[in-house]
């Protein structure tokens, strides 16, 4: 299974943009890049995903490198509620759907 590498933790000030990096040098051509986040005492929740092109949604933006070996999750204006563990995941297709393998994630701290 392809692996992802993320910093253990990052810190941001409230109202400022946050760029969360992820390396996935062994990504295969059919792997989708997903980001999930996990708030304390909650299950992970979907943030965004992409394959090759950059993506935007109401929560965040995803910038994918041209060679697809890295990606960056962008939170445009961090709030205290964005403090969570963010997981970058490669979601590869297997015979019965999509396999979702998590790494250790990045714990984001947001300062008021």
Partner 1 sequence: EAGVAQSPRYKIIEKRQSVAFWCNPISGHATLYWYQQILGQGPKLLIQFQNNGVVDDSQLPKDRFSAERLKGVDSTLKIQPAKLEDSAVYLCASSLWGGGTNTEAFFGQGTRLTVV
Residues at the contact surface with partner 1, assessed by CB under 8 A: 32, 34, 36, 41-46, 49, 51, 85, 87, 91, 93-105
CA distance 77 to 13: 9
Q: Which is nearer to partner 1, 5 or 13 (CB)?
A: 5
Least separation in angstroms between residue 93's CB and partner 1 is 7
CA distance readout (Å), 18 to 96, 101, 108, 112 = 35, 24, 9, 14
Q: Kindly state the tokens that stand for 82.
A: 């964005």
Least separation in angstroms between residue 14's CB and partner 1 is 25
């Amino acid at each position: 299974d392809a692996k992802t590498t993320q910093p253990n933790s990052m810190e941001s000030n409230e109202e400022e943009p946050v760029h969360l990096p992820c390396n996935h040098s062994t990504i295969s051509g059919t792997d989708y890049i997903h980001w999930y986040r996990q708030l304390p005492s909650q299950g992970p929740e979907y943030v965004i995903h992409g394959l090759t092109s950059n993506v935007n949604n109401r929560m965040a933006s995803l910038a994918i490198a041209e060679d697809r070996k890295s990606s960056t999750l962008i939170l445009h204006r961090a709030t205290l509620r964005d403090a969570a563990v963010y997981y970058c995941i490669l979601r590869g297709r297997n015979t019965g759907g999509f396999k979702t393998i998590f790494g250790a994630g990045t714990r984001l701290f947001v300062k008021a």
